[in-house]
Chains A and B, each alone.
Chain A
Amino acid sequence: AQKVTQAQTEISVVEKEDVTLDCVYETRDTTYYLFWYKQPPSGELVFLIRRNSFDEQNEISGRYSWNFQKSTSSFNFTITASQVVDSAVYFCALSGGWAGGFKTIFGAGTRLFVKA
Chain B
Amino acid sequence: SAVISQKPSRDICQRGTSLTIQCQVDSQVTMMFWYRQQPGQSLTLIATANQGSEATYESGFVIDKFPISRPNLTFSTLTVSNMSPEDSSIYLCSVLAGLDTGELFFGEGSRLTVL
User: A residues touching B (Cβ–Cβ < 8 Å)?
Assistant: 33, 35, 43-45, 47, 50, 52, 91, 95, 97-98, 101-109
Contact = CB atoms under 8 A, between A and B. Distances in A.
A68 to B, nearest CB: 15
Given A44-B106, A44-B108, A102 B45 contact: no
Contacts, number: 55
Which secondary structure dominates where chain B touches chain A? strand
A102 B95 CA distance: 10
Contacts of A35: 102-104
Contact of A103 (B41, B42, B48, B99): B48
B31 A91 contact: no
Interface residues of B, number: 25
Interface of B: 31, 33, 41-45, 48, 56, 58, 90, 92, 94, 96-97, 99, 101-106, 108-109, 111
